[in-house]
Amino acid sequence: QKEVEQNSGPLSVPEGAIASLNCTYSDRGSQSFFWYRQYSGKSPELIMSIYSNGDKEDGRFTAQLNKASQYVSLLIRDSQPSDSATYLCAVKNSGGYQKVTFGTGTKLQVIP
């Protein structure tokens, strides 16, 4: 089992729709979770951090965390063509030091 799993996509949504990106992780003790966006040929950039169960909203983005199910998701409301990118889920492993493991990413395509 991979430490962090994501559907590779591509996930295609029409402009203005809600895009839902999902991620599961294997380390039950993980406490810190991150979503990154990566445009082609660029470096990953942080979108959201979430540490507690529930929802966290920032503008058009909402991160959702369910530690019991070992599941974290990212919702993008009112999707725009500029949101087309690969979205990476990252999990900080339990333990004293901060090893951060990334999923392979979900490619999102927003169709105008």
Verify binding: residue 72, other proteins, rule CB under 8 A.
no
Closer of 31 and 78 to other proteins (Cβ)? 31
Closer of 20 and 32 to other proteins (Cβ)? 32
Verify binding: residue 100, other proteins, rule CB under 8 A.
yes
Question: CA–CA distance from 64 to each of 2, 41, 56 (Å)?
Answer: 21, 28, 6
Confirm if 22 and 71 have CB atoms less than 8 A apart.
yes
Q: Please, which of residues 38-57 interact with other proteins by CB under 8 A?
A: 42-46, 49, 51
Confirm if 99 and 29 have CB atoms less than 8 A apart.
no
Binding-site size for other proteins (CB under 8 A) equals: 22
